[in-house]
């Protein structure tokens, strides 16, 4: 440990592992430390099942749930958009070679106490029971507009300037009613609240395109999920970093981030050892005095022995409950994965309900989501604060990631990572630095 590094990364959550990989690939000498003896931090998948019960101060469950080692339970639920930034990062870095994925089978949206499949193409729009007959036609016209839309070709904008006019204006142009706006904004464009209505329409168009391009890519839904759980993702990027020379230490407590002149970081101390460095990258838990609370997220992990009712027995599902449907400011997300992803013992499912906390009684807030799951065998509820750094780290050279938010996918995760990389190195990440042939060597 007593060496000098370009960068020391603290915590092996997904963001830190991606950063570590990108820094190593860029030729930096990296030391990557975690205080825990396992990879993943908050983005770990917990195994065996007893470990999850222990974590929530519950007694070990016994035989009921099959073999404990067959379980890998995510603490934070998210899916990958098949055409999204994380998939691009995985492919460009070659980390995808360590992973296997499955498509999520169903994508649903909640309306009036029931769930319905999210319609994404014209055929589905016309068949959907989310809308009446005339509304279906209007929605179909809207979808065609989005599909034909090219940012670089104003002719496809059809007398509407989406860079200047807001999304509400675009909805109004097509005469879409509130319900249709609701599922378009929340289940297709995946906005967490309604602020987007006042932003330029082009942002929403991009996101709907991401959804439909993702869907077009692999089939039943736009979402992918890694076999053995999300905890595989940080491990994959950690391996990338190691292959490019990164040094890994787990189970290593961090006692101090050592500052030098002008408050600039000069090293990291563990016990009597000090590793020198020019920069530190870390998650909020390593620097409690340099982050502020931004809000709270409630997440409820549910072990269940059946698929979600009314999803055609899908072995994996996402359901979005748009805020207005249940009188809230932010959406409620429901996700389901199962034994088919090697995250649960045969016959078992893991449901997860999460949202941004708005009241003093967060458990009551997620009730509409829990009600969709049917009988639940075991619940694990956590309410966690989420933090953002108080500064951009440009003076201290300590670059801090934001906690994982309530969104159901990794787009904000990747944005944060790319932004931190740019702040830390002063440049955008250059994907061409990855030597693909290294991993592809055939004899």
Partner 1 sequence: MATTPRGGGTAQRPNGASQNKICQFKLVLLGESAVGKSSLVLRFVKGQFHEYQESTIGAAFLTQTLCIDDTAVKFEIWDTAGQERYHSLAPMYYRGAQAAIVVYDIQNQDSFQRAKTWVKELQRQASPNIVIALAGNKADLSNSRVVEYEEAKQYAEENGLLFMETSAKTAMNVNDIFLAIAKKLPKNDGAGNQGSGQGRRLAEVEQNRQTNNCCK
Minimal distance, residue 308 CB to partner 1, in Å: 21
Work out whether 91 is an interface residue with partner 1 (CB under 8 A).
yes
Dihedral of alpha carbons 372, 132, 329, 13, sign: positive
The continuous run of DSSP H or E covering 183 comes out as helix 178-183
The continuous run of DSSP H or E covering 384 comes out as strand 378-389
Work out whether 41 is an interface residue with partner 1 (CB under 8 A).
no
Work out whether 60 is an interface residue with partner 1 (CB under 8 A).
no
Rounded to the nearest 5 degrees, what angle is found at the Cα of 9, between the Cα atoms of 6 and 11?
A: 175
Residues 94-133 within binding reach of partner 1 (CB under 8 A): 94, 96-103
Binding-residue pattern over the window 295 to 334 for partner 1, x denoting contact by CB under 8 A: ----------------------------------------
Minimal distance, residue 213 CB to partner 1, in Å: 13
Q: For residues 340 and 382, which CB has a smaller minimum distance to partner 1 in the complex?
A: 340
Tokens representing 43 are 């983005």
Under 8 Å between Cβ of 42 and 75 = yes
Binding-residue pattern over the window 165 to 204 for partner 1, x denoting contact by CB under 8 A: ----------------------------------------
Which distant-in-sequence residues (6+ apart) come within 8 Å of 63 by Cβ?
A: none
Backbone angles phi, psi at 225, to 5 degrees: -145, 135
- Note the Cα 91 to chain centre separation in Å: 17
For residue 105, cis peptide bond before it (omega within 30 degrees of 0): no
Q: For residues 58 and 438, which CB has a smaller minimum distance to partner 1 in the complex?
A: 438
Give the N- to C-terminal CA distance of the chain in Å, as an integer.
37
The continuous run of DSSP H or E covering 16 comes out as helix 14-25
Q: For residues 87 and 257, which CB has a smaller minimum distance to partner 1 in the complex?
A: 87
Under 8 Å between Cβ of 408 and 79 = yes
Binding range to partner 1, per CB under 8 A, among 104-112, 113-121, 189-197, 238-246: 238-246
In order of 43, 49, 203, the CA distances from 102 in angstroms are 19, 22, 28
Could you say which of 196, 248, 387, 410 contacts partner 1 (CB under 8 A)?
A: 248
Please choose, from the candidates 254, 263, 258, the residue with its C-alpha nearest in 3D space to the C-alpha of residue 286. 254
Q: For residues 1 and 326, which CB has a smaller minimum distance to partner 1 in the complex?
A: 1
Beta strands per DSSP E along 177-314: 223-226, 247-249, 256-259, 265-270, 273-282, 291-304
Work out whether 227 is an interface residue with partner 1 (CB under 8 A).
yes
In order of 77, 349, 403, 409, 414, the CA distances from 85 in angstroms are 17, 28, 18, 10, 6
Binding-residue pattern over the window 334 to 363 for partner 1, x denoting contact by CB under 8 A: ------xxx---------------------
Residue 280: beta bridge partners?
8, 398
d(CA 273, CA 263): 20
Could you say which of 172, 195, 251, 391 contacts partner 1 (CB under 8 A)?
A: 251
Under 8 Å between Cβ of 373 and 308 = yes
d(CA 405, CA 201): 24
Binding range to partner 1, per CB under 8 A, among 3-11, 214-222, 256-264, 397-405: 214-222
Work out whether 238 is an interface residue with partner 1 (CB under 8 A).
yes
Work out whether 58 is an interface residue with partner 1 (CB under 8 A).
no
Minimal distance, residue 147 CB to partner 1, in Å: 18
If binding means CB under 8 A, how many residues of this protein chain bind partner 1? 47
Q: For residues 361 and 443, which CB has a smaller minimum distance to partner 1 in the complex?
A: 443
Work out whether 218 is an interface residue with partner 1 (CB under 8 A).
yes
Residue 296: beta bridge partners?
385
Work out whether 226 is an interface residue with partner 1 (CB under 8 A).
yes
Minimal distance, residue 366 CB to partner 1, in Å: 29
Which distant-in-sequence residues (6+ apart) come within 8 Å of 282 by Cβ?
A: 9, 10, 11, 16, 398, 399, 400, 401
Minimal distance, residue 218 CB to partner 1, in Å: 5
Q: For residues 34 and 194, which CB has a smaller minimum distance to partner 1 in the complex?
A: 34
Q: For residues 318 and 396, which CB has a smaller minimum distance to partner 1 in the complex?
A: 318
Minimal distance, residue 441 CB to partner 1, in Å: 5
Work out whether 405 is an interface residue with partner 1 (CB under 8 A).
no
Residue 132, Cβ neighbours under 10 Å: how many?
A: 12
Q: For residues 99 and 169, which CB has a smaller minimum distance to partner 1 in the complex?
A: 99
The continuous run of DSSP H or E covering 239 comes out as helix 232-243
Minimal distance, residue 173 CB to partner 1, in Å: 34
Could you say which of 126, 169, 242, 418 contacts partner 1 (CB under 8 A)?
A: 242
Q: Where does this chain bind partner 1 (CB under 8 A)? A: 39, 47, 87, 90-91, 94, 96-103, 217-219, 224, 226-228, 232, 235-236, 238-240, 242-245, 247-252, 340-342, 435, 438-443
């Amino acid at each position: 440990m007593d060496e000098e590094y370009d960068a020391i990364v603290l915590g092996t959550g997904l963001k830190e592992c991606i950063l570590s990989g990108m820094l190593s690939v860029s030729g930096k000498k990296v030391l990557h430390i975690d205080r825990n003896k396992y990879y993943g931090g908050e983005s770990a998948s917990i195994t065996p099942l007893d470990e999850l019960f222990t974590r929530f101060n519950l007694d070990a469950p016994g035989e009921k749930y099959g073999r404990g080692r067959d379980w890998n339970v995510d603490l934070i639920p998210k899916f990958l958009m098949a055409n999204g930034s994380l998939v691009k990062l995985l492919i460009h870095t070659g980390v995808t070679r360590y992973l296997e994925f499955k498509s999520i089978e169903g994508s649903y949206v909640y309306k009036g106490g029931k769930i319905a499949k999210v319609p994404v193409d014209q055929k589905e729009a016309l068949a959907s029971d989310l809308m009446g007959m005339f509304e279906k036609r209007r929605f179909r016209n809207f979808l065609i507009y989005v599909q034909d839309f090219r940012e670089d070709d104003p002719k496809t904008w059809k007398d509407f300037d989406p860079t200047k006019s807001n999304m509400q204006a675009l909805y109004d142009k097509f005469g879409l009613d509130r319900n249709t706006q609701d599922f378009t904004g929340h289940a297709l464009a995946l906005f967490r609240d309604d602020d987007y209505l006042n932003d330029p329409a082009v942002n929403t168009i991009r996101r709907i395109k991401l959804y439909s391009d993702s869907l077009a890519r692999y089939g039943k839904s736009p979402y992918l999920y890694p076999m053995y759980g999300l905890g595989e993702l940080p491990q994959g990027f950690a391996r990338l970093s190691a292959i490019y020379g990164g040094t890994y230490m787990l189970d290593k407590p961090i006692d101090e981030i050592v500052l030098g002149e002008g408050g600039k970081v000069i090293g990291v101390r563990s016990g009597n050892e000090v590793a020198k460095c020019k920069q530190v990258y870390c998650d909020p838990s390593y620097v409690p005095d340099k982050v502020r609370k931004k809000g709270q997220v409630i997440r409820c992990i549910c072990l269940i022995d059946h698929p979600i009712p009314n999803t055609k027995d899908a072995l994996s599902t996402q359901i979005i409950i748009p805020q207005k449907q249940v009188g809230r400011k932010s959406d409620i997300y429901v996700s389901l994965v199962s034994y088919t992803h090697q995250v649960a013992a045969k016959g078992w499912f893991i449901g997860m309900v999460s949202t941004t906390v708005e009241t003093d009684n967060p458990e009551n807030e997620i009730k509409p989501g829990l009600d969709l799951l049917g009988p639940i065998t075991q619940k694990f509820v956590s309410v966690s604060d989420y933090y953002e750094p108080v500064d951009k780290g440009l003076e201290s050279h300590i670059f801090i990631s934001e906690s994982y938010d309530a969104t159901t996918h990794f787009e904000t995760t990747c944005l944060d990572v790319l932004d931190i990389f740019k702040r830390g190195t002063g440049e955008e990440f250059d994907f061409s630095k990855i030597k693909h042939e290294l991993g592809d060597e055939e004899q």
